[in-house]
């Protein structure tokens, strides 16, 4: 309308012969992840079918299962950070454990590329260290074990992450017959070398006198 910042509807054609389009390209996964951010924050394990049903109900748009999976992953990366970013913060994580839990024992082992030791680093080569294994024993768990029965159970399980890995644990039983964790380590693979590295640190932290009186039981 002239002299006004408004529009006036003069004619309307309610009869449409065009077919319905259920797949809209501009509604890409990153945009949908921002829309569903609060829903995924409330339930990080929300089912893909739930996201697909919500998109169809709200916008009359069909999502494929692969696209719904990308939507959920983009939202989780926004909420929790990517796995690469979390691995880069392991050094800070170790120092935070030692700061907030005095007397604890933390060991972080990384792999460095061969070019790292050279005086002239090769351009284009990633020289950042890569995670290999980490060992953690909290001081409170160590002191609690000293008052428990001299029995240590060892167990392991694989990690369901894009990078895989194994979790090795040492545990005991308190006077209420409840499981009490003593120490744990995350390694790339369950090998003799990784178990030896874990048990050597465990023995050093508990002391030889305590270890001599303990009975070890594998698979809990």
- In this prediction, residue 118 carries a pLDDT of 60
- Tell me, yes or no, whether 105 lies in a domain: yes
- Tell me, yes or no, whether 17 lies in a domain: no
Taking only the tens place, the pLDDT of each residue in 27-67 is 889 999 999 999 999 998 999 999 999 998 988 888 889 99
Find out whether 119 and 180 touch, Cβ atoms under 8 Å. no
Number of domains forming the structure of the chain: 2
Tell me how far apart the alpha carbons of residues 142 and 104 are, in angstroms, rounded to a whole number: 8
The residues pairing with 153 across neighbouring beta strands, listed in sequence order, are 171, 217
Indicate if 205 and 114 belong to the same structural domain.
Answer: yes
Domain boundary residue, one of 20, 53, 80: 80
- Tell me, yes or no, whether 6 lies in a domain: no
Q: Is the pLDDT of residue 15 over 70?
A: yes
Taking only the tens place, the pLDDT of each residue in 167-213 is 999 999 988 889 999 999 999 999 999 999 999 999 999 998 889 99
Domain range spanning residue 169? Answer: 86-119+127-218
Tell me how far apart the alpha carbons of residues 95 and 85 are, in angstroms, rounded to a whole number: 17
- Tell me, yes or no, whether 16 lies in a domain: no
Indicate if 204 and 95 belong to the same structural domain.
Answer: yes
Q: What is the pTM of this model?
A: 0.69
Taking only the tens place, the pLDDT of each residue in 136-173 is 999 999 999 998 899 999 999 999 887 889 999 999 99
Q: Is the pLDDT of residue 71 over 60?
A: yes
Indicate if 74 and 147 belong to the same structural domain.
Answer: no
Indicate if 47 and 138 belong to the same structural domain.
Answer: no
Taking only the tens place, the pLDDT of each residue in 83-135 is 888 888 899 999 999 999 999 999 999 987 776 556 666 666 667 788 899 99
- In this prediction, residue 123 carries a pLDDT of 66
- In this prediction, residue 43 carries a pLDDT of 92
């Amino acid at each position: 309308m002239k002299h006004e910042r408004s529009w006036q509807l003069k004619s309307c054609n309610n009869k449409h012969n065009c077919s319905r389009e259920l797949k809209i390209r501009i509604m890409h996964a990153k945009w949908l992840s921002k829309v569903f951010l609060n829903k995924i924050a409330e339930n990080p394990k929300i089912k893909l079918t739930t996201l697909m049903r919500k998109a169809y109900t709200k916008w009359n748009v069909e999502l494929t299962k692969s696209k719904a999976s990308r939507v959920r992953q983009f939202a989780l990366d926004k909420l929790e950070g990517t796995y690469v970013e979390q691995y880069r913060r392991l050094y800070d994580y170790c120092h935070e454990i030692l700061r907030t839990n005095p007397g604890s024992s933390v060991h972080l082992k990384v792999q460095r590329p061969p070019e790292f030791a050279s005086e002239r680093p090769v351009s284009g080569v990633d020289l950042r260290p890569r995670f290999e294994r980490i060992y953690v024993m909290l001081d409170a768990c160590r002191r609690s074990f000293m008052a428990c029965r001299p029995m240590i159970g060892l167990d392991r399980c694989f990690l369901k992450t894009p990078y895989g890995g194994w979790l090795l644990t040492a545990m005991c039983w308190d006077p209420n017959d409840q499981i009490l964790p003593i120490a744990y380590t995350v390694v790339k693979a369950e090998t003799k070398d990784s178990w030896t590295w874990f048990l050597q640190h465990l023995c050093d932290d508990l002391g030889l006198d305590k270890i001599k009186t303990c009975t070890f039981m594998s698979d809990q």
